[in-house]
Amino acid sequence: MDAMTKTDVGLRSERGPILLAVMVATAVVAMDVTVIATAVTSIVGDIGGFAQFPWLFSAYVLAQSVTVPVYAKLADTIGRKRIILFGLSVFLLGSVLCALAWDMPSLTAFRAVQGIGAGAILPITITIVGDIYTIEERARTQGYLASVWAIAAVAGPSLGGLFAMIDFWRGIFLINIPLCALAIWLLARGYHETLERRAHRIDYAGAALLTVSLSLLLLGVLEGGNSWAWISPASFGVFGAGLAVLVAFVLVERRATEPVLALWVLTRRLLRATNLVSLAVGAALIGLTAFVPTYLVVGVGASPLVAGLALATLTIGWPIAASLSGRVYLRFGFRSTSILGAVLVVAGTAALAAFGPAPSIVTVAIVSFVIGLGFGFASVPALIAAQSSVGWDERGVVTGANMFARSVGQALGAAVLGAVANAVIADLGGDETDPATMIFASTAVFVGASVVAVLLLAAALMMPRERRTPDPTAVASEPEPVTGPVPDAS
């Protein structure tokens, strides 16, 4: 198959519409993540299936996570534009189908369709930013993308609550139609790739084996302790089958001409470290977003809106730090900036755990802001360092691996920290509505998040030192990094 091997966006003034398209595409996914949470009661009241509603989230996360590595490789093979347009189209189709769902199983299946589309959108948007912006500019543009998530964190629940109030939950999926259409139009019109033809062999066997193995392993993590006990025949069967298929995948990839997930991603020191940073960020993030609102609502009687706003300071701090990180890493390096961010996360989560027994809305808001700053300073330089260590034809795989690591971190964090909370609640009598019980359970989760933060710091310390300061004028779409900002990547 012929393929494109380099992006050419022409004049710098043409990048504005592309960035707008990328932000709209990101907004589509970011909004969908937050808008459905507040409409669950309305959905269940209309089509039933309360026991099955957790699968509305699990099916989406599972489908998104397992497809990220496949899309990332295809983006390096047949170009970014085709993949992101395909992802947006599938997400649009899934949204329409969700709005037409007639029962919980059909809605769950259509949420999986949305997840298949989302798996292409997130990694490819970040890859496109890495292609068209210089090393200095990428931190600022990553801040723009992070701000989209910050807005979605507030707008999503508000819209979901509004549609729930007017008893029209299907509207939460219909709002995706104009957003998807706008993103598709902007990208189709303004984003162009130079065609440099060469033959490619797509690794269909590797893609299939990777998808099956990751599906089984993530299914085991997501449903372990919920649908079945961790120590049970079902759990052993799912994890055993997943590991067996994963071994088969590794054997196939060793012989593949162009493997869908090149094993060098796991062997280079820099990429190992940056992927571990992303994994730890995902685990810590899910622990906070899942338990802080409940901690405030049950612990101090805060309204869901106030609790959500207290947590929203995290999503405000993240884009601020992401935007500022460019100046920091250009002066001190990627590694030092990520270490700074990890230290902030350690301090923030430790403070949250320390003040846990005495819940305070103001304290949570301030600490969440500090943690958000830490996430921004830790994750963005790590991602940009990874992207800057490879050329165009490997950047998609590297970005996809980083995004996949964060998804795995979220799945692991949800499972492990959720198990910690459930164990504490069970030991205290099992009453989830008791303020004291929920305070102790949430504090245990915050302690767990502190442990994850320490692992984040260890991962940042594993990043190799740069030999020299990156050239701020180095354009990422060049086949090789102009200045080699992370020369010890191997």
Residue 385 covered by a domain: yes
Residue 339 covered by a domain: yes
Same domain, yes or no: 152 and 213: no
336 or 261: which leads in pLDDT: 336
Do the beta carbons of residue 157 and residue 83 sit within 8 Å? no
15 or 440: which leads in pLDDT: 440
According to the model, what pLDDT value does residue 471 have?
A: 47
According to the model, what pLDDT value does residue 38 have?
A: 64
Give a three-class secondary structure readout of the chain: CCCCCEECCCCHHHHHHHHHHHHHHHHHHHHHHHHCHHHHHHHHHHHCCHHHCCHHHHHHHHHHHHHHHHHHHHHHHHCHHHHHHHHHHHHHHHHHHHHCCCCHHHHHHHHHHHHHHHHHHHHHHHHHHHHHCEHHHHHHHHHHHHHHHHHHHHHHHHHHHHHHHCCCCCHHHHCHHHHHHHHHHHHHHHCCEECCCCCCCCCHHHHHHHHHHHHHHHHHHHHECCCECCCCHHHHHHHHHHHHHHHHHHHHHHHCCCCCCCCHHHHCHHHHHHHHHHHHHHHHHHHHHHHHHHHHHHHHCCCHHHHHHHHHHHHHHHHHHHHHHHHHHHHHCHHHHHHHHHHHHHHHHHHHHHCCCCCCHHHHHHHHHHHHHHHHHHHHHHHHHHHHCCCHHHHHHHHHHHHHHHHHHHHHHHHHHHHHHHHHHHHCCCCCCCHHHHHHHHHHHHHHHHHHHHHHHHHHHHCCCCCCCCCCCCECCCCCCCCCCCCCCC
Q: What is the mean pLDDT of residues 49-62?
A: 72
| pLDDT tens by residue, 350-398 | 999 999 888 889 999 999 999 999 999 999 899 888 888 877 777 878 8
Residue environment code for 181-205, b if the CB has 16+ CB neighbours within 10 A, otherwise e: ebbbebbeebbebeeeeeebebbeb
Of 142, 157, 191, at which residue does a domain stop?
A: 191
Same domain, yes or no: 461 and 352: yes
Same domain, yes or no: 111 and 235: no
Query: What is the separation of C-alpha 431 from the centre of its chain, rounded to a whole number of angstroms?
Result: 32
The domain that contains 373 carries what CATH number? 1.20.1250.20
| pLDDT tens by residue, 293-323 | 878 888 888 877 787 778 878 878 888 888 8
284 or 488: which leads in pLDDT: 284
Of 237, 256, 275, at which residue does a domain stop?
A: 256
Looking at the predicted structure, is the pLDDT value of residue 289 above 60? yes
Report the alpha-carbon angle 290-295-296, nearest 5: 115
Gap between the Cα atoms of 157 and 33, Å rounded: 9
| pLDDT tens by residue, 238-285 | 899 989 998 998 888 778 777 767 677 777 888 899 999 999 998 898
According to the model, what pLDDT value does residue 13 have?
A: 41
Same domain, yes or no: 177 and 216: no
C-beta pairs of 366-370 under 8 Å, 24+ apart in sequence: 366/313, 368/288, 368/292, 368/310, 368/311, 368/313, 368/314, 368/317, 369/313, 369/314, 369/316, 369/317, 370/317, 370/344
Same domain, yes or no: 328 and 346: yes
Residue 197 covered by a domain: no
Same domain, yes or no: 88 and 72: yes
Same domain, yes or no: 286 and 402: yes
- Other C-beta atoms lying within 10 Å of the C-beta of residue 304: 14
Do the beta carbons of residue 396 and residue 72 sit within 8 Å? yes
| pLDDT tens by residue, 402-417 | 888 888 888 788 778 8
Same domain, yes or no: 243 and 275: no
Residue 196 covered by a domain: no
Same domain, yes or no: 392 and 317: yes
Gap between the Cα atoms of 286 and 122, Å rounded: 17
Total domain count for the chain? 3
- Cα 311 to Cα 29, 154, 166, 286, 287, distances in angstroms: 20, 10, 26, 12, 12
The boundaries of the domain holding residue 233 are 204-256
According to the model, what pLDDT value does residue 103 have?
A: 87
| pLDDT tens by residue, 154-173 | 777 777 777 877 778 898 89
Of 191, 225, 242, at which residue does a domain stop?
A: 191
Same domain, yes or no: 388 and 302: yes
Same domain, yes or no: 146 and 220: no
Gap between the Cα atoms of 408 and 33, Å rounded: 16
Same domain, yes or no: 362 and 490: yes
Helix axes 304-332, 269-300, angle to 10 degrees: 150
